[in-house]
Amino acid sequence: LNPEVWTALGVSLRVATSATLLVALPGTAIALALARAQRGTVWRSLVETLVAFPLVLPPTAVGYLIVLGFARDGPLGSETIGADLGVLLSFRGAVLASSVMALPLFVRTARVAFEEVEPRLELMGRSLGMSRTQVFLRVTLPQARRGVLAAFVLGFGRALGEFGASAVVAGNVAGETRTLSMAIYDSYQVSDPSIVQYVGVAALLAFVLMFVAERLLARRAGSRARSSGGSA
């Protein structure tokens, strides 16, 4: 394998891991809030729409909006806040862009998992004197763990495949923001035969991730079918 393939793979894994960790807390909070919110209310629809936004907006547009925010004269730029956050054309930028793109998938998967937790179990926990945090950690999360894990895997996978937004925000810096997807684009431009290796590694990784997510979600559905009795 070309050593540059390892470098790009390393960058991809570091970016995707950081992005998943960055998304985990806000993503879980939003998913839980949405799962518990009454269906059909306007604010719930509004939050759902905002979260889903990056899913349909062209990734390059997401990237451009981030650049506007962090540009020198932007609301979060060095001239405005007096310090350079070092987001553009850097590892941080790649992580931020991938997080924004991974959030919708994470929230949607985790939300469904939380919605399937029996509210009765949570109520029982509360009546036994548990705090809200205890109920979440000892009842809700264990019940929803497969779905939440799948959310992590899918979010990680989305971050790993990210190209458009990070290309605009983080660019192409070898060893820092040159991810597998960037390397594939790059080597295609110059008809570099290494492209086969990049694509091979990316495909293998994507297959493993999707298979794991599939197993997590399938078994959760299976156990639900079993626990609901042998009517089928």
Contact positions vs other proteins (CB under 8 A) = 67, 70-74, 77-79, 88-90, 171-175, 186, 189-191
Tell me whether residue 93 or residue 161 sits nearer to other proteins (CB atom): 93
Question: Of 79 and 118, which has the nearer Cβ to other proteins?
Answer: 79
Cβ 181 to other proteins, closest distance in Å? 14
Min separation Cβ 171 and other proteins, Å: 4
Between residues 130 and 173, which has the closer beta carbon with respect to other proteins? 173
| Residue number, 63 or 157, with CB nearest to other proteins | 63
Q: How far is the CB of 129 from other proteins (least distance, A)?
A: 54
Beta carbon of residue 187, minimum distance to other proteins (angstroms, whole number): 9
Residue closer to other proteins (CB basis): 92 or 220 = 92
> What 3-state DSSP class applies to 58?
coil
**Least separation in angstroms between CB 71 and other proteins:** 4
